[in-house]
Amino acid sequence: MAFSEFRALDEKSLVEYVKATPSLSSKIGDKYDDLKIKEIGDGNLNFVFIVVGPSGSFVIKQAIPYIRCIGESWPMTKERAYFETVALKEHGGLCPEHVPEVYHFDRTMSLIGMRYLEPPHIILRKGLIAGIEYPLLAEHMSEYMAKTLFCTSLLYRSTAEHKHAVAEFCASAEMCRPTEQAVREDNIMKLEVAELKSKFCERAQALIHGDLHTCSVMVTSDSTQVIDPEFAFYGPMGFDVGAFIGNLILAFFAQDGHANQGNDRKTIEDTWNLFHQKFTALWDKHKDGSGEAYLPAIYNNRELQKLIQEKYMKELFHDTLGFGAAKMIRRIVGVAHVEDFESIGEASIRADCERQALELAKTLLKKRREFLSISDVISAIRHVQSS
């Protein structure tokens, strides 16, 4: 390690740190004369540096023990860097095509060194706002979610393995406090939110990303990379799938406020359908493996196994709709708004886009068990658009 105790780095001290860290210095060929360092953190939580030299590049992400945009009056554990690293390595091992490689981790410095996703990679949210279409997005994201969620669950792991993994992430609880939104006087919504909160807090189903919105994905026309799992923990699978699909729906409803329109409903539909297909294919492939959710000796006939799988996927679908709807509502009426809507200049158009998205979200939240397929969701989107 370059430093024996924690200190926040700047561009100058980062050079000294890299020189003293072989796993990083080797990535740039130990050459520093033409080294370029740029701090690109969004100012909210972490410091993020792009380091580029003639012989290579990487990104440094350093967590600090408070919320950066507020200051030391709002502390936040810097151990989030440890859990992010564990999640990146775990998910990267399961789906290396869609997770950037980790080169280095320093727990004392709360610092991660990882692959630099060079241009033309951009944040997915910005691409969707610009109306760029990504024909492989549904394929790639369904692959990532299917592999990372299935392979960190009891469907794939033994009970002992799963309990050990869950125990390691218990210390990340500080990062897992959901934002509860006021639901005014709607008692049905209050009941649905209470049920979702219970699942969020109590159901350690799989190692989820924990913040899988469209700013946590970087893309090109043929590459999709999932980043920033600092909120990772063992929780309900539908929280990840719902977060991603919910953000795609927000992007869709924001289209009327932007000159360039893309992001058709097909991406939303394909994401769930491909996820369902890939997840159940993994289940079928490993049904006689080490997973202990449904022991083959007990669940020992194909008809029963089919019923179990159908029940499991139906509940996962409804969880996806519930958590996705809650995310949408939070992003519209909460304090953390999304650029999709905020970048719409005309206030009346922005309000209409938000109204449509909010109307759909409330329907999905309160009536999610009435939806039997993703095509039903697409029909509901069309209905809201035409009303």
Find the range with the poorest average confidence among 73-82, 99-108, 338-347. 73-82
pLDDT at 73 over 90: no
Return the amino acid letter for 308.
Answer: I
**Quick one: pLDDT band at residue 67, thresholds 50, 70, 90?**
confident
Per-residue pLDDT at 176: 59
In angstroms, the CA 9 to CA 41 distance is 13
**Quick one: pLDDT band at residue 235, thresholds 50, 70, 90?**
very high
Looking at residues 364-368, what average pLDDT do you find? 97
Encode pLDDT of 248-289 as tens digits.
Answer: 999 999 999 986 655 578 999 999 999 999 999 999 999 999
**Quick one: pLDDT band at residue 132, thresholds 50, 70, 90?**
very high
Encode pLDDT of 7-61 as tens digits.
Answer: 999 999 999 999 999 999 999 999 999 999 999 986 578 999 999 999 999 999 9
Token pair belonging to 318? 């409804």
**Quick one: pLDDT band at residue 181, thresholds 50, 70, 90?**
very low
pLDDT at 312 over 50: yes
**Which segments within 174-232 are labelled E, that is strand?**
206-208, 217-219, 224-226
In angstroms, the CA 278 to CA 315 distance is 17
Helix axis angle for 347-367 and 374-386, nearest 10°, is 140
Does residue 280 contact residue 147 with C-beta atoms inside 8 Å? no
C-alpha 79: how far from chain center = 19
DSSP string for 320-343 = HHHHHHHHHHHHHHSSS--HHHHT
Q: Which residues of 100-114 are buried (b: 16+ CB within 10 A; e: fewer)?
A: bebbbbbeebbbbbb
**Burial group, residue 294, by CB count within 10 angstroms (0-12, 13-18, 19+):** middle
Does residue 67 contact residue 41 with C-beta atoms inside 8 Å? no
In angstroms, the CA 318 to CA 310 distance is 12
Write down the mean pLDDT value for the chain: 93
In angstroms, the CA 311 to CA 68 distance is 44
In a 3-state reduction of DSSP, which class is residue 90?
Answer: helix
**Quick one: pLDDT band at residue 160, thresholds 50, 70, 90?**
very high
Q: Which residues, in sequence order, are bridge partners of residue 240? A: none
Does residue 24 contact residue 113 with C-beta atoms inside 8 Å? yes
Encode pLDDT of 79-120 as tens digits.
Answer: 999 999 999 999 999 999 999 999 999 999 999 999 999 999
User: Taking Cα atoms as reference points, which of 365, 264, 279, 356 lies closest to residue 324?
Assistant: 365
Residue 321's Cβ-side half-sphere holds a number of Cα atoms within 13 Å equal to 27
The backbone torsions φ and ψ at residue 64, rounded to the nearest 5 degrees and listed phi first, read -115, 160
Q: Which residues contact 177 (CB under 8 A, 6 or more apart)?
A: none
Does residue 59 contact residue 50 with C-beta atoms inside 8 Å? yes
Per-residue pLDDT at 265: 85
Per-residue pLDDT at 109: 97
Does residue 325 contact residue 365 with C-beta atoms inside 8 Å? yes
Find the range with the poorest average confidence among 176-180, 225-229, 295-299, 347-351. 176-180
Looking at residues 236-255, what average pLDDT do you find? 97
Number of H helices, E strands in the chain: 13, 12
What pTM, to 2 d.p., does this model score? 0.95
Per-residue pLDDT at 260: 65
